[in-house]
Amino acid sequence: MGNASDAASLFASSISKEHDILMGSVYSLFCILSLVGNCLLLLVAFHKRSTLKPAEFFIINLSISDLGMTLSLFPLAIPSAFSHRWLFGEITCQLYAMCGVLFGLCSLTNLTALSLVCCLKVCFPTYGNKFSPSHARLLVAGVWCYASVFAVGPLAQWGHYSAEPYGTACCIDWHAPNQELLALTYIVCLFVFCYALPCTIIFLSYSFILLTVRGSRQAVQQHVSPQTKTTNAHALIVKLSIAVCIGFLGAWTPYAVVAMWAAFGDATAVPPVAFALAAVFAKSSTIYNPMVYLLCKPNFRECLCRDTSTLRQMIYRGSPQPQERFSFTPQRNKDTSASTRFSNGQQDSYGACLNCTEDAALCHVSAPQKTACILTGSTYTEVTVSQLSAKPGTDFI
pLDDT one-digit tens code per residue, 299-358: 676 776 776 677 667 777 765 554 444 444 444 444 444 444 444 444 444 333 333 434
Buried b (16+ CB within 10 A) or exposed e, 305-317: eebeeeeeeeeee
Give the highest mean pLDDT range of 103-112, 204-213, 285-294, 324-333.
103-112
Give every CB contact of residue 72 below 8 A, 6+ residues apart in sequence.
96, 99, 100, 103
Res 62: pLDDT: 93
155-192 pLDDT, tens per residue?
Answer: 998 989 999 989 899 999 988 877 788 889 999 999 99
Q: Which one, of 163, 166, 186, 183, lies nearest residue 270 by Cα?
A: 166
Return the half-sphere exposure (C-beta side, CA atoms, 13 A cut-off) of residue 16. 3
Alpha carbon distance 387, 397 (integer Å) = 14
pLDDT value of position 375: 52
Whole-model pTM: value is: 0.73
Mean pLDDT of all residues in the chain? 78
The HSE-up count of residue 237 (CA atoms within 13 Å, CB side) is 24
Which residue type is seen at 45? A
| Average pLDDT rounded to a whole number, residues 2-14 | 68
Q: Which residues of 159-190 are buried (b: 16+ CB within 10 A; e: fewer)?
A: bbbbbbbbbbbbbbbbbbbeeeeebbebbeeb
Residue 371, H or E segment: strand 371-376
For residues 64 and 286, the answer to whether their CB atoms sit within 8 Å is no
Q: Give the span between the Cα atoms of 198 and 245, in whole angstroms.
A: 11
Can you list the domains of the chain with their CATH numbers? 2-296 (1.20.1070.10)
Nearest to 121 by CA among 191, 206, 46: 206
Question: What crossing angle do the helices spanning 298-318 and 288-296 adopt, rounded to 10°?
Answer: 90
Q: What does DSSP assign to residue 369?
A: -
pLDDT of residue 44: 86
DSSP letter assigned to residue 384: E
Mean pLDDT value of segment 193-203: 93
* 323-335 tens-digit pLDDT: 444 444 444 444 4
Q: What angle do CA 379, 383, 386 make, to 5 degrees?
A: 150
Select the highest-mean-pLDDT range: 11-15, 23-27, 316-320, 336-340. 23-27
Statement: residue 369 has pLDDT above 60: no
